[in-house]
Structure 1
Amino acid sequence: MEQQPSALIVIDMINTYDHPDADQLLPSAQKAVPVVAGLIRQARDAGVPVIYVNDNFGQWRSHQGALVDAALAGPHAELVEPIQPDDEALFVLKARHSIFYETPLTYLLWELGVHQVVLCGQVTEQCVLYSALDAHIRHLDVTVVSDGVAHIHAELADAALEMMRRNMGAQIVAGAEVTFSEEDGRVGPSQ
């Protein structure tokens, strides 16, 4: 695999939205999806790896195709269509909150030469927060796209973003501020 210093990580966006807190999550997810779609396009154009890390929703026989098909067949397919994985995307299934917990993601990032992860997805105050912490303790540079993450509770999401910035040294930026460099794969503020 080609070495890339950065990767875009799309967390739990392949979703049927049929869970108990979905009604609280949907308004924020609807705002985040266009930002996530733009990040995915930009990363693909720059040759930066796009890695989907997605909950398996307790479906232990599931795989990428089954999850995408279920989400596209669900009542909120419009939230999945613009961000669905292409043939170049990498896909990791997870069972719990962190993208690293009991997954091969650490090894995959090492194999790709990734030192910086750009996190987007859902849920800010849960999976994104725990994933940012786990990335930080693995000595990865962490960027969280504030308008590219969806939340259930706005006040907890704001607190989580502040914790990621203050306690984990994460860059908290808006999607419009993200530029993936085609020369070296690094992400930084747009010019």
Structure 2
Amino acid sequence: MSDAALLIIDMFNDYRHEDADQLAANVAQILGPLQRLQNAAREHRAVDIVYVNDNHGNFNASGHDIVRSAQRGRHPELVEPLLPTDGCAFLTKVRHSVFYATALDYLLQRLGTKTLVLAGQVTEQCILYSALDAYLRHFDVVIPADAVAHIDENLGTAALEMMRRNMDARIVESAHCLPTACPPDAAQC
């Protein structure tokens, strides 16, 4: 049983799409903090890691297929450091929210999760919509600002502010967002 989960969202991307170059540049900036957050979560027994990735319209794709496709994409250096380890949950999604048409809510309920740390890409899209759906399901939401990538900087900044104001999300640096470093009642770490 865990009371916190780190959701690594859409990091297995082949970067063969519109805005891919701009996104890849921003992902490169968050890669270090996100990798450190992932490693810290692996070492922390009260934090589960759940990978949730878009299936890019391929409903036959397994998590392994999605990761392999990303490794063969234009920026494998942005994929390799975050590869899932055995035993981690990997869910595929079909739209922006990690909850839409996935078993995530059921999994989190079974794990006893109360707090979600949302990291990955894209701040103004999948992170924002996932935060809203998490908030609607009464999860505490934490966004490590240095571990989410945007396409448009202004929209990314606005999305972070919307999550903070409208969804009571705690916007913190990745080094301060795991439960032991940031108690649930802290306004900001």
Normalised by the size of structure 1, how large is the TM-score? 0.92
Letter paired with 1:25: L
1:170 positional shift: 0.2
Matched ranges for 1:5-44 at <5 A: 5-44=3-42
Instruction: List, as ranges, runs of 4+ consecutive aligned residues in structure 1 with deviation greater than 4 Å.
Output: 185-191
Partners of 1:189 and 1:37 in 2: how far apart?
A: 25
- The equivalent residue for 1:53 is 52
Letter paired with 1:43: A
- The equivalent residue for 1:172 is 171
Q: Deviations over 1:119-166 (max 9, x none)?
A: 000000000000000000000000001010000000000000000000
1:175 positional shift: 1.1
1:60 positional shift: 1.3
Which segments of 5 or more consecutive residues in structure 1 lack a partner in the other structure? none
Which segments of 5 or more consecutive residues in structure 2 lack a partner in the other structure? none
1:75 positional shift: 2.2
Equivalent position SS for 2:102: coil
Q: Cα gap change, 1:188/1:104 in structure 2, threshold over 3 Å: closer, same or farther?
A: farther
Count of residue correspondences: 187
Partners of 2:32 and 2:178 in 1: how far apart?
A: 16
Equivalent position SS for 1:40: helix
Matched ranges for 1:101-180 at <5 A: 101-180=100-179
Partners of 2:188 and 2:134 in 1: how far apart?
A: 23
Tell me how large the CA RMSD over aligned residues is.
2.0
- The equivalent residue for 1:73 is 72
In 1, are the aligned partners of 2:120 and 2:127 still within 8 Å (CA)? yes
Letter paired with 1:69: R
